[in-house]
Amino acid sequence: MSTADQLQQGLIALGLTLTRDTQQRLLDYIALIEKWNRAYNLTAIREPEKMVSHHLLDSLAVAPHLHARRLLDVGSGAGLPGIPLALANPGMHAILLDSNHKKAAFLNQAVIELKLKNVEVCAERVESWQSQNKFDVIISRAFSDMGEFVRITRHLLAPGWIFAAMKGLHPYEEIDKLPPDLKVLQVLPLAVPGLDGARHLVLIGQMEQAG
C-alpha cells in the first residue's frame, strides 16, 4: 500500500475529512522529516510507512477532541502534533515551541516549504517564555510527565481552557500527582490506525472550569 493510500484509509478510520491538497502536504511533511533526519536526528522512526501511522495519524487522532483558536505545542521536536493539527485545521493558529535550535531550524524550514500561514516557531525554554496572547489549548506529546508539563506551562494558558497531554498507557500515577487546583476532565482512549500500542489523550482543566 502506498503512503497516500495508508494516510487516506487512516483518515477514514479516524472520521476525518481532509482535502487532497492537505493530504499531500502531510505527505510532503514526512518526506521533509525523512530528508532532515539524516543530519538532525529528528525521530527514531525512519520508514515513511511508520511515519504515517506513528506520527501523522497519531497526531491527527486528537484533532476531533480539540477546539482551539490558539494552540501551543510544547517540546514540538519535529513538529508533532502541531504541524499535522495546523494542516488539519487552517483556522487555528499554532505556535511550535522547542528549545533545541536544530529542531527549531527544521520547523522554520517546514513552515516555509509547507506554506503554513497559521504556524509560528519559537526556540525558547517554555518556563521562561512569555506570550502576550494566552492559549486555548497547550498540548504535549512525550514531552515530560504531566505534573511537570502543567507546572512549567500554566502561565501561558488562557482562563477556562485546557491542557492536553498525549500519553501511551493510562497515566494513573501521573494523574494522582497533579496539582490540587487542576482536574482531569477526560481521559480519552485513542485508536490509531496502524499503531498497536495504547494511546490516551488526557484533558486537564482548572477546578472552576470543571465545576
Across the chain, what does the average pLDDT equal? 95
Which residues does 128 contact at the CB level (< 8 Å), separation at least 6? none
pLDDT at position 208: 65
| Residue 211: pLDDT band with limits 50, 70, 90 | very low
* Boundaries of domain holding 136: 3-210
Share of the chain above pLDDT 90, in %: 91
Length of the chain: 211
Per-residue pLDDT of 95-143, as tens digits, reads: 999 999 999 999 999 999 999 999 999 999 999 999 999 999 999 997 7
CATH number at residue 134: 3.40.50.150
pLDDT at position 17: 96
Per-residue pLDDT of 138-159, as tens digits, reads: 999 977 899 999 999 999 999 9
Mean pLDDT calculated for residue range 187-199 = 95
Per-residue pLDDT of 162-177, as tens digits, reads: 999 999 999 999 999 9
Share of the chain above pLDDT 70, in %: 98
Number of H helices, E strands in the chain: 9, 7
pLDDT at 206 over 90: no
- Cis peptide bond N-terminal to 81, omega within 30: yes
**Cell triple for residue 181?**
487546583
- The count of structural domains within the chain is 1
Give the Cα separation of 127 and 189 in Å (integer).
29
Nearest Cα to Cα of residue 116 among 18, 28, 37: 28
